[in-house]
Structure formats: structure tokens, C-alpha cells
């Protein structure tokens, strides 16, 4: 599924490499033999996968803000990547209510800055712009959203990701695609992933970090929306999709330059309370959960993705079911508690996933 020869020696720019998904992708790309150039803000939490797994020595890491168009353009021009993965974002729904201007500036104008910078570099063959499953106009349907569904967004985060999708489409059609005005064409796709979970996530206002913190401190877990259903998946699942998508964009161009969903099987879209109960059981914890009594800002209650296009055309589908995903989280965090080498533990996780992927194929 993943072409190991394709990535060997490739120059890859990864925005958001200090984040949870970005750190996992940076590790995986280095294992594939790529030369990774990272551009992102410093980790926002005291603990991060980037630091705990010692990712920085493996790549060319630059701390910078994607809102700084001049600095970003200089960095991309200097390193002349073949492929760009754009993950840098303000990723938290609740934060978007507190800082809507920052959210739109980062997620919309930051994306446009990446696109503009890439237009100036002839080496760039393919770009995967990561948005979100929340970019859809959520109708609280019980079936999965397809890539052709209407975009929307109640909260500033979701709306900003819908705006980013429209910006990418405009750049593809107007400038960078085969029918665009740019002399140097670049194939661009957007990736809409479900709720990613995995070892090494300490981000604020996310379910798994909150559960683990409550277990470690022996306090009840407070859930804002215990009945909310989300498309949970291990972080390596969509990353595998991004890698395959980038390969197809590079090799086959505009045929794959469109939007793509990467989510779990339907039966792995579970309520928040179910995830909480399963994970506390796996950690052998007696901690229980309670509903947050305070009023909460709006969040979608039911969200699923239809990933049939990725299955049919990219031959991508989930490898680990939700039970395996949760077990992997426990393995990672227990290793962290035991003081193990978390770079090696993380690489071992990637290798287990890759072995399972190869077995399935």
C-alpha cells in the first residue's frame, strides 16, 4: 500500500511537525527514508510527543508561525521540497470560541500562505492539505458524510476548516492545477480525518489526555458530552492515507487532486462515554466518569464519515479496529510511565502498524 521506494531520499516539508499528528508523521517519514523539514510553533503543552519521543534530532526542525508569510516563503524556497504536508493549525473547537480571530487567521490565512509559498517553488509536485471531518455542514445524520456533501461549520474552528477547503479548491482551479494559470503545476488534495487518538497526546481539551490525567490523579473524569458520537481512529490510520495520497498525487497528478475522507469503520464510531469506560478498564482503573454540569459551547453530537472513495480509489481502509487502537494507547503510556525510550517505542508502534497493513494486503 505504501511505496517504500517512493519516499527514500524525498525532500518533504511538514508544517505542524511539533503537534501530535505531525510528530507521528515526522517519525514515520524518517523511517521511510525521507528528508523531513518541519515548520511549526513550539509545542504548546509542557509534555508533547515531539519532546518525549525526541523527534527533533531526526529532522530539520524550524520554529515559526505559518501566519508569517515572508518567513514561511523563505523556508520553503530554501529547502525545495518535493512533497508538502500541511498540518499546522489551531486544532481545538473550544479554543476557537475564545480566539476566533486567531483560529481563522491560522487555519485560513495560514493555509493560503502555504499555498502561496509553494507556488514559488518549482520542486513541489504534490501537496496534502489536512483540514477536518468537522468541515461539513453537520445535520446530525446517522450516516457518513461524503466528500460531495455541503461544507459548513457552526463553531469558528469548523467554519475555518470549511473556508480552508474552499481556498484550496480556488488555488487548485485558478493557479496550481493543470487548468490553472501557473507555469509550474502542483497536484493538491485535501484530507478530512476523523477524531485521531493514540499514544503521546497531551493536548488540552481532548478526551484521551483528559482520561489519562484523571486516571493518574485518581479523580473522576468529567465529560462535556458523554453521548456525543465521533469517528475515532488511531493516529496512524489517516497518516497512512496521507502518505498514499501524496504518492498518487506525485505519480498520477490531477486524477487524485480533490477532497478525501479518512475515517474508521462505521461500528468504530462510538460515544465518548464508551471510549472512557473501555480505556479505564484497560488501565485497570477504578476511576469513573461524570457529566460536566456547566453550560458548554456548541459541539456536534453525531459525526460519521463515508470513506468509500478512499477504499475504492486509494485502496486505503482502517487496519486497527477501535479495541486494538485503545490497547496501543495503553501500551504506549505504560512504556512512558516505565521510563522507556519513547522514540523507540513510537517507532515500534509504527512497525507494528506497518506489519498489520502488509498482512492485510
Residues 60-114 pLDDT 10s: 999 999 999 999 999 999 999 999 999 999 999 989 999 999 999 999 999 999 9
Quick one: which of 92, 25, 102 has its CA closest to 66?
102
> End-to-end alpha-carbon separation of the chain, Å?
8
Residue 6 and residue 247 in contact, taking contact as beta carbons nearer than 8 Å: yes
In this prediction the pTM is 0.95
Q: What is the pLDDT of residue 292?
A: 76
Q: How far apart are CA 163 and CA 314, in angstroms?
A: 25
Q: Is residue 122 part of a domain?
A: yes
Residue-level pLDDT at 285: 87
Q: Is residue 317 part of a domain?
A: yes
- Residue 193: count other Cβ atoms within 10 Å of its Cβ: 25
CA–CA dist 323, 345 (Å, integer)? 19
Nearest to 221 by CA among 295, 270, 303, 285: 285
pLDDT score at 182: 93
Q: Which domain does 160 fall in, by range? A: 9-198+232-267+301-321
Please name the residue that has the C-alpha cell 453550560.
295
Which residue from 1, 30, 161 is spatially nearest to 87, judged by alpha carbons? 161
b (16+ CB within 10 A) / e for 309-318: bbeeebebbb
Residue 295 lies in a domain: no
Cα distances (Å, whole numbers) of residue 355 to 26, 220, 264, 314:
19, 37, 19, 19
CA dihedral 145, 151, 152, 155 (to 10 degrees): 70
Count structural domains, the chain: 1
The 3-state DSSP class for residue 229 equals: strand
**Which residues in the chain show pLDDT less than 70?**
295-301, 360-361
Q: What are phi and psi of 12, to 5 degrees?
A: -125, 125
- The reported pLDDT for the residue numbered 16 is 98
Residue 150 inside a domain? The answer is yes
**How far apart are the C-alpha atoms of 246 and 235, rounded to whole Å?**
17
Does any domain span residue 97?
yes
- Does any domain span residue 354? no
Report the alpha-carbon distance of residue 128 to residue 119 in Å, rounded.
14
| CATH code of the domain in which 309 resides | 3.40.50.720
Q: Using an 8 Å Cβ cutoff, are 161 and 131 in contact?
A: yes
pLDDT at 299: 62
Residue 336 lies in a domain: no
Q: What is the DSSP string of 172-195?
A: IIIIISTTSS-SS--EEEEEEE-E
193 strand-pairing partners: 262
Residue 203 covered by a domain: no
Amino acid at each position: 500500500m505504501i511505496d517504500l521506494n517512493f519516499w527514500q531520499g524525498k525532500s518533504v516539508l511538514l508544517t505542524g511537525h511539533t503537534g501530535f499528528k505531525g510528530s507521528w508523521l515526522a517519525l514515520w517519514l524518517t523511517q521511510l527514508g525521507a528528508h523531513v523539514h518541519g515548520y511549526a510553533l513550539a509545542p504548546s503543552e509542557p509534555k508533547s510527543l515531539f519532546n518525549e519521543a525526541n523527534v527533533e534530532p531526526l529532522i530539520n526542525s524550524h520554529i515559526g508561525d505559518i501566519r508569517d508569510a515572508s518567513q514561511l516563503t523563505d523556508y520553503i524556497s530554501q529547502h525545495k521540497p518535493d512533497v508538502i504536508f500541511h498540518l499546522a493549525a489551531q486544532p481545538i473547537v473550544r479554543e476557537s470560541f475564545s480566539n476566533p480571530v486567531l483560529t481563522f487567521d491560522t487555519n485560513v490565512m495560514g493555509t493560503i500562505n502555504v499555498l502561496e509559498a509553494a507556488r514559488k517553488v518549482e520542486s513541489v509536485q504534490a501537496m496534502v492539505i489536512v483540514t477536518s471531518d468537522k468541515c461539513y455542514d453537520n445535520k446530525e445524520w446517522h450516516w457518513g458524510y461524503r466528500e460531495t456533501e455541503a461544507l459548513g461549520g457552526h463553531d469558528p474552528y469548523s467554519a475555518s476548516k470549511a473556508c480552508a477547503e474552499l481556498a484550496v479548491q480556488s488555488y487548485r482551479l485558478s493557479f496550481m492545477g493543470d487548468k490553472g494559470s501557473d507555469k509550474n503545476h502542483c497536484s493538491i488534495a485535501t484530507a478530512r480525518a476523523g477524531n485521531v487518538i493514540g499514544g503521546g497526546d497531551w493536548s488540552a481539551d481532548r478526551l484521551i489526555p483528559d482520561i489519562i490525567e484523571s486516571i493518574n490523579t485518581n479523580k473522576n473524569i468529567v465529560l462535556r458530552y458523554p453521548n456525543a458520537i465521533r469517528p475515532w481512529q488511531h493516529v496512524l490510520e489517516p497518516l497512512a492515507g496521507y502518505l498514499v495520497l501524496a504518492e498518487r498525487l506525485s505519480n498520477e497528478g490531477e486524477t487524485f487532486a480533490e477532497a478525501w475522507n479518512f475515517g474508521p469503520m462505521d461500528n468504530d464510531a462510538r460515544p465518548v462515554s464508551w471510549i472512557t469506560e473501555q480505556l479505564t478498564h484497560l488501565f485497570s482503573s477504578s476511576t469513573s466518569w461524570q457529566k460536566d454540569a456547566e453550560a458548554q459551547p456548541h459541539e456536534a453530537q453525531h459525526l460519521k464519515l463515508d470513506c468509500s472513495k478512499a477504499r475504492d480509489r486509494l485502496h486505503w481502509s482502517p487496519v486497527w479496529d477501535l479495541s486494538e487502537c485503545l490497547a496501543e494507547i495503553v501500551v504506549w503510556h505504560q512504556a512512558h510511565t516505565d521510563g522507556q525510550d519513547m522514540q523507540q517505542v513510537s517507532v515500534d508502534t509504527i512497525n507494528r502498524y506497518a506489519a498489520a497493513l502488509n498482512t492485510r494486503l
